[in-house]
Structure 1
Amino acid sequence: MSQHRTARRLAGLGGAAGATALLLALTACSTPGAGAADTPGVTDDTVTVGTHHPLTGPAAAGYSTISAATKAYFDYVNDQGGINGRTIEYLVKDDGYNPANTQTVVRELVQEDEVFAILNGLGTPTHSAVLDYLDQNAVPDLFVASGSTSWNDPETYPMTFAFNVDYVVEGAVLAQYAADEHPGAKVCVLGQDDDFGEEFLEGVELALGVGGVAEVQEYSVSNQDVSAQIGAMQAAGCEINMLATVNGFSALAIGTAAKLGWFPMWFSSSSGGDYPTLAGFLGEAAPQLLQGFVSANYLPFGPDGEWVELFRQINDDYNGGADFDGNTVYGMSVGYLFAEALAAAGDDPTREALVAALESGDLAGNGILPLGFSKTSHAAWNGAGITIVDAGVQDFVDAAYEVEGGEVSAVDPAPVPLENAGVPAA
């Protein structure tokens, strides 16, 4: 857990408005020991969950397709009979990546739509704004779409569970791979000027030591120019550039360096390491500029994998054949893990049963490493694998690492096999 986390967390709802919202929402809370008939969002035939995602605004270009992929997976499951006889209804509300909007739409989902759970709310600043509210109302807050360590705090937030591998772990995984494969190389970091960049750097230094990073540069998402940062890294003689960047800024950094005639190695967080998305930004130059591009990943993105084959078919049949990329795999993987947890919650699902299923340690997910949920940890995965782009194809290499107790260790990848056509059974 990051030492910076508490200082950064935003208050969920404050003052009189917060008190009013809390009083209004009490009617939507589940009662300990209540059956499914008394549980919000659950009927004899359906389970309703909701999310906040940026369908418009500055983050929409990078993330708006995730919820469509999740819905497509749920539609597929529903056509197979649903989970324990119930279909899954998925309500997606646009918050424009604005925390004030997030508070509004999440209150609507809880108080008016009476959802069973919030699923995969996206963004650190946005979701931080509703973290306390969801906890106070005992709403399962599942699989937050952000690598912040804030979501792994079961003592304070017992209903909140992460999904992304956190930024500290990703930084440590990438740095250890760099040390193993390129010993002595000068490693530098370009990071977003918030918890993303801070925690990623924390992970890099965990693997390499505080003196192991030659240069650190930050950027703001409000400024679409990283020329000064890239110039400083070039001047410092950086050989491996670690990126705590979203896809748009990964492409911007790589493209800016190319204009300077500089071609270092690039190692990226999964948040900014999706080859199809990067190629869309970089255009015809992408295969050349991204040759050898390294990224951390924890989901089944190998081009010949059985999960990818299934998700491609679902994407064609239920998502209108939309572009297939990392967001597609991510969104469908979120849907699969929720369906697995719902199946494990039993024929009479309650919020308490759902949380107990997640904390049981019995769920597998569909990642390349074992799922890490337990009563004492709400982190989905404690490690990641390494992908490399070769001749325009991004695929895993035989390298993966876990981070436990401040130590980074190499482990064997252990991909979860596809069973039952990707529909979890009780």
Structure 2
Amino acid sequence: MPKSSLRAAALPAALLLLAVTTTGAMAQKKYDTGATDTEIKIGNIMPYSGPASAYGVIGKTEEAYFKKINAEGGINGRKVNFISYDDAYSPPKTVEQARKLVESDEVLLIFNSLGTPSNSAIQKYMNSKKVPQLFVATGATKWNDPKDFPWTMGWQPSYQSETQIYAKYLLKEKPGAKIAVLFQNDDYGKDYLKGLKDGLGAKAASMIVMEESYETSEPTIDNHIVKLKATNADVFVNITTPKFAAQAIKKIAEIGWKTTHFLNNVSASVGSVIKPAGYEASQDIISAAYLKDASDPQWNDDAGMKAFYAFMKKDFPEGNVLDGGTVVGYGVAQTLVQILKQCGDNLTRENVMKQAASLKDFRTEVLLPGIKINTSATDFAPVSQLQPMRFKGEKWELFGDVISADVGG
């Protein structure tokens, strides 16, 4: 047979092979709304305005981190399109923005939206639409409920875990303490309070002398602090968001209330709470941490924090490195990038949740030593360990051991 005929005969076979190979490659790629060969569309809702606006820096950090990822080639060759809206910490506005992201912007998922009341308002909607409500920026225990809400997952340690740790500390160090509690009158505040009571057990009724709640619409909580001091409590458990936490620290110093002060982790930022309240007024406050503190020189030679500092300098120079929110945003964004890498070319919403529930000893660069992220189909609580810390000088000092939470969904 002439060579030309041989080539002609071979050509259909080559085309057939090419077609099979191409079809195989195409078959391997699976996309839901919000994902293509070139893009992954991610939605986010933050309180850039309103009473919890101090947390807005988390969304800004995430935006800068995804821009960095895109500049480096994206995730498996796809660029992240990060769409972030303001809800002013108002649940009705959160509902409006979630609908816009899912129905108009057509995002693959909503990521790290902030606030317990805000996420509570959209949880049923997100699950009915089967759109991931992934790594919500709130420590409410209810996000760890894969049976009833398989499309919702938290990230940070649960609020109940944290106050249970404080309760363990008090039962050991101050078993006769008189405790006064200030809490935000919503799901977030009540979740923390429940953890404290559960941790104190039978002694809760005798040890807690007053539970005082406040509304986020109040301009100041000074009157609540004065009322709590009048109980002569020697322990104050401060369950507040940043604006009110700073007010409480200032007022306690102003009226000379000598008390052991426990401050919830979500308001332990040196930049947005401690510094505005005053270093002097903040001495010996106790909190708990799961992330490294960017203001602490002990991490200056830490490889992970060096990468974080470099990111802040190059990619987010307008951000305040002392603001704990930047560390949170960086850590949770790194976790999402890991999930999307694991998804490969199967960028369906179902696979996003499957990969989110398959993390094994994952560490972002900003987690404290000894703390790892683990999830499973029945455990939607990625970070469940904390270490106590005390404020000294101009920084937090870690003490004691890393404590694992014993709170389930």
- TM-score, normalised on structure 1? 0.81
CA distance in 2, matches of 1:59, 1:75: 25
CA distance in 2, matches of 1:38, 1:248: 42
After TM superposition, give the deviation of residue 35 of structure 1 in Å.
6.3
User: Could you tell me whether the CA contact under 8 Å between 1:147 and 1:167 is conserved in 2?
Assistant: yes
Q: For the structure 1 residues 57 and 250, does the alpha-carbon distance in structure 2 shift closer, same or farther, using more than 3 Å as the test?
A: closer
2:337 to 336, 339, 348: 339
Note the 1:305-384 alignment, pairs <5 A: 305=299, 306=302, 307-324=304-321, 325-362=323-360, 364-366=362-364, 367-368=367-368, 369-384=371-386
User: Could you tell me whether the CA contact under 8 Å between 1:173 and 1:383 is conserved in 2?
Assistant: no
After TM superposition, give the deviation of residue 378 of structure 1 in Å.
1.2
- TM-score, normalised on structure 2? 0.84
CA distance in 2, matches of 1:383, 1:91: 31
Q: Give the letter aligned to residue 155 of structure 1.
A: K
1:265 to 256, 260, 280: 260
Q: Give the letter aligned to residue 58 of structure 2.
A: I
Pair 1:40-2:33 in alignment: yes
Q: Give the letter aligned to residue 349 of structure 1.
A: L
CA distance in 2, matches of 1:136, 1:319: 36
Q: Which runs of 4+ in 1 moved over 4 A?
A: 34-37
Q: For the structure 1 residues 96 and 287, does the alpha-carbon distance in structure 2 shift closer, same or farther, using more than 3 Å as the test?
A: closer
Which residue is 1:81 aligned to? 73
Note the 1:18-417 alignment, pairs <5 A: 36-60=29-53, 62-209=54-201, 210-211=204-205, 212-282=207-277, 286-301=278-293, 303=296, 304-305=298-299, 306=302, 307-324=304-321, 325-362=323-360, 364-366=362-364, 367-368=367-368, 369-404=371-406
After TM superposition, give the deviation of residue 328 of structure 1 in Å.
0.2
CA distance in 1, matches of 2:229, 2:318: 41
User: Could you tell me whether the CA contact under 8 Å between 2:117 and 2:187 is conserved in 1?
Assistant: no
After TM superposition, give the deviation of residue 36 of structure 1 in Å.
4.5
Which residue is 1:25 aligned to? none
- Cα deviation 1:251-297 (Å, max 9, x = unaligned): 21121122212232211111122122123432xxx121111121122
CA distance in 2, matches of 1:259, 1:403: 35
After TM superposition, give the deviation of residue 363 of structure 1 in Å.
5.5
Q: For the structure 1 residues 248 and 263, does the alpha-carbon distance in structure 2 shift closer, same or farther, using more than 3 Å as the test?
A: farther
CA distance in 1, matches of 2:211, 2:305: 36
SS in 1 for 2:153: strand
User: Could you tell me whether the CA contact under 8 Å between 1:292 and 1:388 is conserved in 2?
Assistant: yes
CA distance in 2, matches of 1:35, 1:341: 18
User: Could you tell me whether the CA contact under 8 Å between 2:69 and 2:75 is conserved in 1?
Assistant: yes
CA distance in 2, matches of 1:171, 1:46: 41
SS in 1 for 2:75: coil
Q: For the structure 1 residues 166 and 405, does the alpha-carbon distance in structure 2 shift closer, same or farther, using more than 3 Å as the test?
A: closer
Larger Rg: 2
Question: Structure 1: which 5+ residue stretches go unaligned?
Answer: 1-33, 407-426
SS in 2 for 1:398: coil
User: Could you tell me whether the CA contact under 8 Å between 1:336 and 1:365 is conserved in 2?
Assistant: no
- Cα deviation 1:18-64 (Å, max 9, x = unaligned): xxxxxxxxxxxxxxxx964532121212211011112223322x111
SS in 2 for 1:206: helix
CA distance in 1, matches of 2:82, 2:173: 44
User: Could you tell me whether the CA contact under 8 Å between 1:301 and 1:395 is conserved in 2?
Assistant: no
Quick one: percent identity of the two aligned structures?
A: 30
Alpha carbon RMSD of aligned pairs, Å?
Answer: 2.1
Question: Structure 2: which 5+ residue stretches go unaligned?
Answer: 1-26
Deviates more, 1:379-388 or 1:174-183: 174-183
SS in 1 for 2:279: helix
- Cα deviation 1:322-368 (Å, max 9, x = unaligned): 21210100111110110111111223332222211121242514333
CA distance in 1, matches of 2:189, 2:98: 27
After TM superposition, give the deviation of residue 387 of structure 1 in Å.
2.1
CA distance in 2, matches of 1:201, 1:401: 19
CA distance in 1, matches of 2:273, 2:92: 30
**Number of residues paired by the alignment?**
369
Q: Give the letter aligned to residue 330 of structure 2.
A: M
CA distance in 2, matches of 1:38, 1:341: 15
Deviates more, 1:228-237 or 1:290-299: 228-237
Deviates more, 1:381-390 or 1:141-150: 381-390
Deviates more, 1:118-127 or 1:210-219: 210-219
SS in 1 for 2:70: helix
After TM superposition, give the deviation of residue 182 of structure 1 in Å.
4.0
User: Could you tell me whether the CA contact under 8 Å between 1:152 and 1:377 is conserved in 2?
Assistant: yes
CA distance in 2, matches of 1:35, 1:48: 20
